[in-house]
Structure 1
């Protein structure tokens, strides 16, 4: 005599679990009878008991009975399948990833804020020093010296891993250090001659020289959209120059020379590719360039301007040694800090995003310098500056639309 028993496994605690029914025929009437309702809370040990029971082992039909599982095990099985269908990421992992992405976004925003803040204070302190101490070569050398001290301090305390640099890498970095030195020197020469706002307005023409040098030395011909974005840049700078109250040719050409050297650095960084290892990141690359710039500029400053930073000379010139030294030190700290943070941002975002951020930074610096130094600005001058900066932003957006090369 045989009987058929239906075992129902159900879970009322989860709406996602469907009721599972398993029917089998009991081949042995002497086998234990089970209450189907109580089987919903039965553990796997019951299944093992059924399989090992001497009363039931005489029939092979028991081998086809599915394993009995508990409600909890069914839930775990469902979660496992759900996580595997979502690409192996559980809910906790998704939440962790979201929190990590938010942290990275906040960190990047803090870096941009520090970049702008350090740049603002550098321009303010630097301009105050250059007004009373018109020796831009010496000032630039002092700034590189402050940066060099910070670099060695950072490496000595293991705040950043010291790079393992080779002679071939130094040879490749040398041209970058040379144009980096000239770029910062010409910037300080311009800041000493004209208003901070006007220097940064002229430096808005960097995209023009970037396109020009890329076409001349790299063979990268610009598109029509890129060329059209350069027109408001050139026109805006020309309009601002014609109406600038502090205009003089020395300051104008110094700022233009700064554009040329800085964009030459970008082109050279493509032509003289530095073979990097894990320790040679953007921060260490900038640190090495800073040290090399100090050794390149120090003899030039000595022969061109002599020793002008001694207390005896400063007192004989009627300068407040303590006040001048404090502002020069702060300018040097901000000088190195804003450039290093710039490299840290460049390591996290694309060059186009960095370019857009640089455009916004220039606007912030111009506005704050006009307000701090109470620079007289005419409506036409403001219009020219605005047109130039709008052209820079347009250029950055057009560069972001450049199609990516298709993978082979």
Structure 2
């Protein structure tokens, strides 16, 4: 039987029974070329996969950054509109308890619609969780009530300047109830906060003690809420994320604030009362609704941001938000501000920013 024999280029055909074994083995140069070719192909494929992975990672990070920037923008925007419309309501309707209850009522309706329409999963709350959340709802309701009391008495810019003292109360309450002793750097950052607020208070044109102490009480209650949330640890379940927790607190705050507002101020939000007071009913209702909607929206967005960033980043964003709100309110309401008042506000806000940076480097306790 004859065979078709394949030989190397330039090699003589072998005998009829087939070529010698060496004729079938490629030279070492060809093997090396083949190995290099395979290596290049593998490397190219790996590089292609890496580049594709890097592109997907870049796109994902870009989307996350874009969403976060949008949330921060909405947080600031909703806060600006809340303070402007809320102040306009309180100027003509000086009943802060009723305004507070109305804001929680709008938030409660929004939460119920969100759950019933499946925009957000309706949670299953246990009795033990409700008992743990109750103190948070109490101080949350009081915090908003005291803020509205302050806004009704003094300018928006001055209220927010006083509220810049929140870190002071946070450190004080954490030391008293959690045993967290502040270091020298944290204490040093509180000095410009307290000094700046004091300087701004002495030169504030709209200053009165009722507005001042209401804002201070708001600081105390808001930071008590934060401390209680650490001390009264709600059992962490899948249904109890930050947004759900805020939704439950909103409903409970409405249930708590409604009877308090009636007891303190009576039923004042009816069309007949507003007409008898010489107020534009539609205007007051519209302003109140926008303020309430913006209040719930900025609080909701704040919790959404907190799920995406560290508390320190959230604190820095809150400082920036306060600066924007102060400047915007001064421009909108044409609030008279002296140079010393501006200096005091700036020093206090700089202290808040310094505090947020110092706490970011504080060693974590185990």
- The answer for the alignment partner of 2:217 in structure 1 is 257
Change (3 A) 1:364 1:347: same
CA distance in structure 1 between the aligned counterparts of 2:249 and 2:8, rounded to whole angstroms:
82
- The answer for the alignment partner of 1:33 in structure 2 is 7
Q: Secondary structure at the match of 2:204?
A: coil
Change (3 A) 1:34 1:224: same
Change (3 A) 1:121 1:56: farther
Query: Offset at 1:73?
Result: 5.9
CA distance in structure 2 between the aligned counterparts of 1:35 and 1:219, rounded to whole angstroms:
88
Q: Secondary structure at the match of 1:363?
A: helix
Where relative contact order (Cα < 8 A, 6+ residues apart) is larger, the structure is 2
- The answer for the alignment partner of 2:276 in structure 1 is 316
- The answer for the alignment partner of 1:11 in structure 2 is none
- TM-score, with structure 2 as normaliser: 0.91
- The answer for the alignment partner of 1:5 in structure 2 is none
CA distance in structure 2 between the aligned counterparts of 1:69 and 1:165, rounded to whole angstroms:
67
- Which structure: greater helix fraction? 2
- TM-score, with structure 1 as normaliser: 0.82
Query: Offset at 1:33?
Result: 1.6
- The answer to whether the 8 Å contact 2:7/2:19 transfers is no
Query: Offset at 1:279?
Result: 2.4
CA distance in structure 1 between the aligned counterparts of 2:57 and 2:118, rounded to whole angstroms:
29
Query: Offset at 1:76?
Result: 3.9
The count of corresponding residues between Structure 1 and Structure 2 is 356
User: Which structure 2 residues correspond to residues 52-91 of structure 1 after superposition, within 5 A?
Assistant: 75-80=40-45, 90-91=50-51
Change (3 A) 1:56 1:201: farther
Among residues 51, 76, 90, which one is paired with 1:130 in the alignment? Answer: 90
Among residues 305, 308, 313, which one is paired with 2:265 in the alignment? Answer: 305
Larger gyration radius, structure 1 or structure 2: 1
- The answer for the alignment partner of 1:361 in structure 2 is 321
Query: Offset at 1:75?
Result: 4.6
Structure 1, unaligned runs of 5 or more: 1-28, 37-53, 84-88
The reply on whether 1:153 has 2:107 as its aligned counterpart is no
Q: Secondary structure at the match of 1:347?
A: helix
- The answer for the alignment partner of 1:284 in structure 2 is 244
What's the Cα RMSD here? Answer: 2.6
Q: Secondary structure at the match of 1:142?
A: helix
Among residues 219, 227, 234, which one is paired with 2:179 in the alignment? Answer: 219
The reply on whether 1:275 has 2:249 as its aligned counterpart is no
Query: Offset at 1:232?
Result: 0.6
Change (3 A) 1:67 1:166: farther
Structure 2, unaligned runs of 5 or more: 11-16
